[in-house]
Amino acid sequence: MLNSTQKVDVIVNEKIGTISPYLHGQFAEHLGELIYPGIWVGEDSKIPNLGGIRKDIVAALQPLHLPVTRWPGGCFADGYHWRNGIGERARRPLRINYYWGMAPEPNTFGTHEFMAFCRAIGTEPYFTGNAGSGSPQEIGDWVEYCNFVGDSSLSQERRENGSAEPFDVKFWAVGNENWGCGGRMDPESYAATYTRMRTSMFDYSGTAVHGIACGASGNDWVWTRKVMDYFKNKHWNHLGTVQSLAAHFYCGTAGTATEYTSAQWLELLARSAAIEGIITGHRAIMDEFDPQRNVNLIVDEWGTWHPVESGKPGSGLYQQNTMRDACVAALTLDIFNNHADKIYMANIAQLINVLQALLLVQEDRCIKTPTYLIYDLYQPHKDAQAVRLVSHADVISDGGASAEFCRDQFIDRSLVALQAAQGSASVKNGVLCITVVNTHPEQALDLEIALTGGMLGDVEIVRLVNNDIHAHNTFANPDAVTLSEPQTSHVDGSTMHVQLPAASVTRIIGKLS
């Protein structure tokens, strides 16, 4: 039986780093039902839209102030030729999405439509260029088309296609998963490809290219070492052309999206918490070649990956999203916060109707998932100063059936341990924000929070909690899972006690004195 009282220390004067808003990034790939009809329904649709973009998803996403969205893939990106997605829509070619079920790709959602979507929801664009079947000239032309304010045939073409002003796209990846679907390259071959393609990508009109290189899959430490070695030591120093290295990590599943035991609940949460080893492991290798950390570590694909829902095509990756997925998201964001000095951007996979989605749409209806609610709950952390939170809570899982998987994600394999209470803390404008997950699926906790370097008075507490660990929102019951109404509690000094319901996420906010 777990001790019902657990303790964490929050050390306010032990600063970690500024929490990059980009850690709340998103990912929108041409896959399954994400783009069509998740974002794009067309101007003639009976579904209310803004120039073809669904009004309901715009209204749902605007309040999250999402910092950045990655597009058009994913594996799709390394078969995508951007010219197919510009110009008159009726004349755009019908292609095949050969990575995702040979589905038809009408190209009606392209560069201009994606930029309209970004502007509608207030997010920065992050483009993934085609390194698998594309060329240096193709990606270089795309950068010029998007960003050049002066006179050239490409900038004039953009104007003729309806955008007088440049798009000012800063984030550009050279390929995706080039160790796999993006060309099955070895690390040195990819690094050479990156270098060749990056040479054609220029800064235009005040918008500097932030070049993003393909990083490792999970714990592939060899990929990171060899790519960084190439950039640093082969021929000449290429590190100045690489601004970020993008790793991918999926914690997978245990059971199905909505059917799982308490043991499988713990197993998946432990698997998700292993992303800490991905961050610390790859950053440590990168530091050997780049001790000044001029190259950022990003994780531009992460999340759960459950079996596809019954009745949906296997290649569409449509899955439901429960309280368990919400706790995975919360644990992951807390780990990002706790390593704010090591990680710059993260993009959950994916935005709508695919994998660990924030929104699900069906015909003219749109619902928010429990994962959406976590992004809402964690907004105060963005741009705040992360401070040290040390959990003394009991260890309740090593991953169970997935213990070996969890250990493998760490360079130091002894570090895997899911605690009953895990969280993070940050300070912005004198306000302390603490988020904490009760990872136990059945037992409530009394959490003692001991502050060092500050005191609190009144605090606001908001929870994500449900009596059913399998709870999720459906089109028949879209509000089965919601955030609680804020409650006010008084803290007498530097120690407070907060009740953590089983399988819940809690946010505490208060002014420091």
Catalytic residues: 177, 301
Tell me how crowded residue 392 is: count the other CB atoms within 10 A of its CB: 12
Q: Are 421 and 439 in contact (CB under 8 A)?
A: yes
Q: Where are the beta strands (DSSP E) in 19-118?
A: 26-27, 49-50, 53-54, 68-71, 95-97, 103-105
Geometric angle at alpha carbon 303, from 297 and 309, rounded to 5°: 155
- 104 within 8 A of 7, measured Cβ to Cβ: no
- Containing H/E element for 421? strand 421-428
Distance CA 459, CA 496 (A): 10
CA–CA distance, 355 with 200 (Å, rounded to integer): 34
**Rounded Cα distance, 14 and 4, in Å:** 28
* CA–CA gap between residue 260 and residue 256 (Å, rounded): 6
Which of 173, 230, 168 is CA-nearest to residue 345?
173
Maximum Cα interatomic distance, the chain, rounded to a whole number of Å: 71
CB burial class (10 A; 0-12, 13-18, 19+) of residue 216? buried
DSSP output for 448-511? EEEEES--EEEEEEEEE--S-TT-B--SSSTTSS-BPPPEEEEEEESEEEEEE-TTEEEEEEEE
∠ CA 46-52-56, nearest 5°, is: 70
Angle at 164 between CA 158 and CA 170, to 5 degrees: 70
Smallest CA-to-CA distance from 200 within 254, 140, 245 is with 140
